[in-house]
Amino acid sequence: MNPLHSNLTPARHWKDIPQQVSHRAMSSEGRRRVVMGVVKTAGIVTALAVLAWGGYGVVAALQDEPGRMPQTVKAAPLRDLVLVTDGVLDQAWLARTLAIPKGASLMELDLFQLRGRLLASGQVRSASLTRSFPATLSVSLSERPPVARLQVQDQTDAMRTLYVARDGTVFEGVVYDAKMTDTLPWLAGVKLTRQGGVFLPVAGMETVADLLAKAKLEAEHLYATWRRVSLERLATDGEIDVGTKDGTRIVFGTNEDFFRQLANLDAILDAAHAHPEKALRVINLAVGGQVPVAFETAAAAPDASPVRAAPPATRGPLFTGFNHN
């Protein structure tokens, strides 16, 4: 061992010094405040629990156990029908469709059955009914907007107009503005099938609705001239035939972008204005970039009266006379 270090003691740190300080005792006032705080918190929690349990009990009594409801509330007749909808259906239609007996109380209503009456129209996509005590029934509806119309002949040989939604649902629309329905094209090439008293959805309507929506949004001046839309070759050839007010037949292909086809159609119609002596009869946009068209002399053009639910035009000879890139 080195003699120079033999007598040296290790350096001491202040933490090695024993600490004799004790924690300050809490005063009686401090203890009282702590106890009161705990009691207050426990009281609030207990009160909230009681309120929650009471609310649950009230809901259970009103919905699942009507026998526990006060007789005065249970017997109160329905006073108000509140309607909220994203469409056109009104209060009169709601009251007529629900057909709630006069004097019926809120608790007597079978909400499941009433909801079925609303959905049976086909115009209503979804419906929710809520009891608002003591005497109000609130109804919230989401409607199917029509995208096209068609005419059918009923058992009495009378013609009636039906409407078709984007999802293919066929229904008798009510409360529609005639100015709106007059802009809807007529459907052709459609065979309706009835099952259980209602028509089955029209197949392929989502594709047709895409074309109609694109035309209305991007080329409304073109859409305004469309009177008939045929689905006759939609499933077999992927083609949608559109008939215009002046008798022109336009063929759209479902394998081509609708926006591009509409742009080609607009350019073709602009170019055709330079030949007023001829009338466009057929424009086939389904073939891609090279668009064949067929002309005939303007004097031989058919009458421009609106085309209703007439059969679609038959396929003509090979289209010639106009190419557009």
Q: Which residues contact 121 (CB under 8 A, 6 or more apart)?
A: 97, 171, 172, 174
Residue 196, pLDDT score: 86
Q: Which two tokens stand for residue 27?
A: 């005063």
Q: What is the pLDDT of residue 7?
A: 53
pLDDT digit of tens for each residue in the chain (325 aa)?
Answer: 555 444 555 556 555 655 555 555 556 666 667 667 776 777 676 766 645 554 544 444 455 455 555 555 567 889 999 999 999 999 999 999 999 999 999 999 999 999 999 999 999 999 999 999 989 999 999 999 999 999 988 777 789 999 999 999 999 999 999 999 999 999 999 999 989 888 999 999 999 999 999 999 999 999 999 999 999 999 999 999 999 999 999 999 999 999 999 999 999 999 988 888 888 899 999 987 667 777 777 654 444 343 333 333 333 333 333 333 3
67 secondary structure, DSSP code? G
d(CA 106, CA 81): 11
Structure tokens at 18: 């024993």
End-to-end alpha carbon distance in the chain:
104
Backbone angles phi, psi at 233, to 5 degrees: -110, 15
**Topology of the domain comprising 74-143:** Ubiquitin-like (UB roll) (3.10.20)
Q: Are strands 278-284 and 249-253 parallel, antiparallel or unpaired?
A: parallel
Do 212 and 191 meet the contact criterion of CB atoms below 8 Å apart? no
Sorted by where each begins, the domain ranges of the chain are: 33-68, 74-143, 146-300
Q: How many Å apart are CA 325 and CA 317, to the nearest integer?
A: 22
Query: Is 201 in contact with 169 (CB distance < 8 Å)?
Result: yes
Q: How far apart are CA 293 and CA 142, in angstroms?
A: 43
Tell how far CA 105 is from the center of its chain. Answer: 32
139, 84 contact by CB (below 8 A): yes
- For 264-272, the CB contacts below 8 A with 24+ separation are 264/291, 264/324, 265/219, 265/222, 266/219, 266/222, 267/324, 268/293, 268/322, 268/324, 269/222, 271/322, 271/324, 272/322
Number of Cβ within a 10 Å radius of residue 193 = 9
**Nearest CA among 164, 185, 165, 145 for reference residue 308:** 185
The Cα 167–Cα 150 span in angstroms is 15
Interstrand relation of 186-188 and 194-195 (parallel, antiparallel or unpaired): unpaired
Q: Could you give the strand order of the β-sheet that contains 124-132, starting from the edge strand earlier in sequence?
A: 80-85, 136-143, 124-132
For 90, residues 6+ apart whose C-beta sits below 8 A from its C-beta are 83, 175
pLDDT at site 60: 47
Q: CATH number of the domain at 146-300, please?
A: 3.40.50
Give CA–CA dist 144/16, Å, rounded: 84
E strand or H helix at 230: strand 226-230
Q: Read off the pTM.
A: 0.70
What residues contact residue 228 under an 8 Å CB cut-off, 6+ apart?
185, 186, 187, 188, 241, 242, 243, 307, 308, 309, 310, 312
pLDDT for the residue numbered 303: 45
Model pLDDT, residue 22: 52
The CA distance from 280 to 214, in Å, is: 23
pLDDT of residue 273: 85
Q: Please state, in angstroms and rounded to a whole number, the distance separating the CA atoms of residues 169 and 125.
A: 10
pLDDT given for residue 27 in this prediction: 65
Count the Cβ atoms, other than its own, within 10 Å of residue 190: 22
Q: What is the pLDDT of residue 145?
A: 97
